[in-house]
Amino acid sequence: MDTTTGAVGGMKGCAMNYYAHSRKGSDSSLWQSVEEHLESVSAITARLAVKIGMPRAGELVGLVHDLGKYSQAFQQYLRSVAGDPASILELRENLAGPPGAGFGG
């Protein structure tokens, strides 16, 4: 994994960037990677867990608390709330499901 971008992938040019947080209307270069987010939260939870004598447990909790953000569904959601029109349309289609799959249909 590229520790500066959160990119995952073994082939040059085929890496996928996974983001934890976006800024509406901003370029993804300003977004926080999942890896950066998990590491910063882990440092905080480790410091807090010192109070109960469990800094390692606190560190681990911080590292795993948002692993679901490594899913394509979350990445699509993040792009949609950041204002990417193509992602918004794709998200709506995915949420709607196949024709006739809605409530009462």
Domain positions in the chain are 7-96
Q: 9 pLDDT exceeds 80?
A: no
Q: 94 pLDDT exceeds 70?
A: no
pLDDT the model gives residue 76 = 86
Cα(98)–Cα(87) distance, rounded to whole angstroms? 18
Residues 6+ apart with CB under 8 A from 55: 46, 47, 49
pLDDT tier at 10, thresholds 50, 70, 90: very low
pLDDT the model gives residue 77 = 85
pLDDT in tens, 29-77: 778 888 999 999 999 999 999 999 999 999 999 999 999 899 898 888 8
Nearest Cα neighbor of 56 from 44, 67, 70, 46 is 46
Cα(62)–Cα(64) distance, rounded to whole angstroms? 6
Nearest Cα neighbor of 92 from 103, 76, 104 is 76
